[in-house]
Amino acid sequence: MPSTKKLLQAAAGSAGGDPLYVEDVFSTYLYDGNGSNRSITNGIDLAGEGGLVWAKMRSGTPSGGNNVLYDTERGAGKYLISDLTSAQSATDSVALTSFNSNGFSLGVDNASGLINYATRVYASWSFRKAEKFFDVQTWTGNGVAGRQIPHSLGSTPRFIITKRTDGADNWKCYHVGNPSPAEDHVIELDNSNAAGNESIWNDTAPTSTNFTVSAGGAINANGYTYVAYLFASDAGGFGGDGDENIIKCGSYTGNGNVTGPLINLGFEPQFVLIKAASRTGHWFLLDVLRGISTGTSSSSPGTNQYLLANSSGPEGATTSINVNSTGFQPRTTDDSVNENAATYIYIAIRRPMKTPESGTEVFAMDTADGTPLPQYESGFVTDFEFNRSATSAAYTAISSRLTGNEYLRTNDTNAGAPDNDIAWDFMDGWGSATWTLAGQYSWMFKRATGCMDVVAYSGNGTAGTTQAHNLGVAPEMMIVKVRNIVEPWAVYHTGLNDGVTPQNYHIRLTNGAEAADSDIWNNTAPTSSVFTTGGNDKVNANGGTYIAYLFATLAGVSKVGSYTGTGSDLNVDCGFSAGARFILIKRSDSAGDWHYWDSSRGISASTDPYLLLNSDAAQVTNTDYIDPLSSGFTVTSSAPAALNASGSNYIFLAIA
């Protein structure tokens, strides 16, 4: 039977094309310069559809580097610098050399160092032209006030960046959040000035088909050449049904408190650009790949890695904003993002939203191999992981991109602790340590619609509080831990209480049995958009800061399920075609450890090494409790009561 996703795609295709997702039109890509010809493969079709590549040096020797912007309308090799007023470069054959169907190519950039110098580290952001997301337009000025410049955004632009390309001039920006009326104001990308009254838009608001310019040299002087980058906002057009928003341009008013205003975007952002409009302040470029971590308290709000669109300086670290499932929130009194009564403008882009089609897209295992970095390689952008030594006694540490360099232990109740070796700014794994340790494994996961999600939230102690998530379906398993106080892990699973009102039960990451408790999930089953917490400190202490790992069954990718033991060989059908690569099992109606297996250490017809999520004991290698099965896995007759007692209940998570 075809998946729902494929049916939706087929329907969309018959109506004029496959659905678009944010992954198709936007990418943050991090890379180390190598000073050689190379291609950056980020999945964005710039050759066929057109768009913009914005790149910035993060760090390296020498430090400092300009923001360089290349677009398909002006052509490869011609860059503008957002932190300078200068004209575009002449064609540079050693910089960005081509726009490709899946990214862009770079040349031997060991002279200018702008985009591929061998000792520097870079970030890039690619924006593909697409209706209701982004457009690029160029024109030659005619000196006529009121000239209308047509565009192909398919909706009214809410943020427009313009620049004269053949000579020096400021970058002039329209933003819907500028002082009212926005069409009478301009804010400049190349400096920190507040928005000012200026009539370069001819006092005319943009429309869904054009924007209007005056006759000035900065925007429409006779014979001068110009480029404009246009951004939509809340225009829909994306996702399987074509009704999802992936970009929002807006404004907020700061409150000067450590807990700043909550900005509701309607989605979780992966990229945010923020600028003070009513006062001086830099343009802050933030993205989750370089790090936007959610802290544990108002005194430790999390650290963000930022770059400045109006500065050539290297990357800095600041406690600026936290992201959540529906938006972001300033968590600082810093006037750069949260001065009391100041107005700030922003552009935010949604996190990835595609549904995966195979387990290898969302789950991988690796051992600590030292260099080259990352220490653990997954082959995809990793969002959360747990790691430990398999061959010696050691605790299991779990960490996530949303919580930065903090880890929690699965076999105790301790609060989170920092570890500087936990680093997430890689495209294919995690970890900045360069040591090699035999038997040290990491089990790595990627957040994906229908399969897995991570939610960071703050407790308020009020029973019945809902927490938003982006799983897209009702979670079938949730593993929750408070990060800033000592409390046990709480687990929800649809197999608890033999599948009857599981929302009235929870189980801990110990060897204990399930327990009825109305104050954990408030006797409320999770939905496709929220889960509900009681007033219990395990899941919702006032002032508590939490992390929740959510899982669901996705055909051919993951399975959250339960079974009743038989004492004999028991086949567990997960709907897979090539067996399970990861299996986690817990007896729910009585005592039993959280056993887990994986295909890296071996799932075979003979012995299968297992570890315990709730114990620091080394792996056991001389048992045969699990056998491979193409549709899932087999629990063997030799398995103990913790895995296969006749008539007993068991819950599990499996990944194909």
231-279: pLDDT as tens digits: 999 999 999 999 999 999 999 999 999 999 999 999 999 999 999 999 9
Burial class (CB in 10 A: 0-12, 13-18, 19+), 419: middle
Confidence grade of residue 436 (pLDDT, cut at 50, 70, 90): confident
Handedness of CA 214, 216, 222, 224 (dihedral sign): negative
Q: Are 462 and 565 in contact (CB under 8 A)?
A: no
Q: Where are the domains of the chain?
A: 18-128, 134-231, 247-350, 359-445, 452-551, 558-655
**The CATH fold of domain 18-128:** mini-chromosome maintenance (MCM) complex, domain 2 (2.60.320)
Confidence grade of residue 361 (pLDDT, cut at 50, 70, 90): very high
pLDDT tens, position by position, 362-383: 999 999 988 889 999 999 999 9
How far apart, in whole angstroms, are the C-alpha atoms of residue 92 and residue 436?
A: 42
Q: Are 275 and 187 in contact (CB under 8 A)?
A: yes
pLDDT tens, position by position, 21-66: 999 999 999 999 999 999 999 999 999 999 999 999 998 766 679 9
Residue 370: other Cβ atoms inside 10 A: 11
pLDDT exceeds cutoff 70 at 158 = yes
Does the pTM exceed 0.85? yes
pLDDT exceeds cutoff 50 at 152 = yes
Residue 303's contacts (CB-CB under 8 Å, 6 or more residues apart) are: 291, 293, 295, 317, 318, 319, 404
CA atoms within a 13 Å half-sphere pointing along the CA-CB vector of 135: 23
Handedness of CA 103, 106, 112, 116 (dihedral sign): positive
pLDDT exceeds cutoff 60 at 12 = no
How far apart, in whole angstroms, are the C-alpha atoms of residue 637 and residue 612?
A: 20
* Among 124, 159, 128, CA closest to 21: 128
Residue 85: other Cβ atoms inside 10 A: 18
Under DSSP, the state recorded for 420 is: T
Q: What is the mean pLDDT of the chain?
A: 94
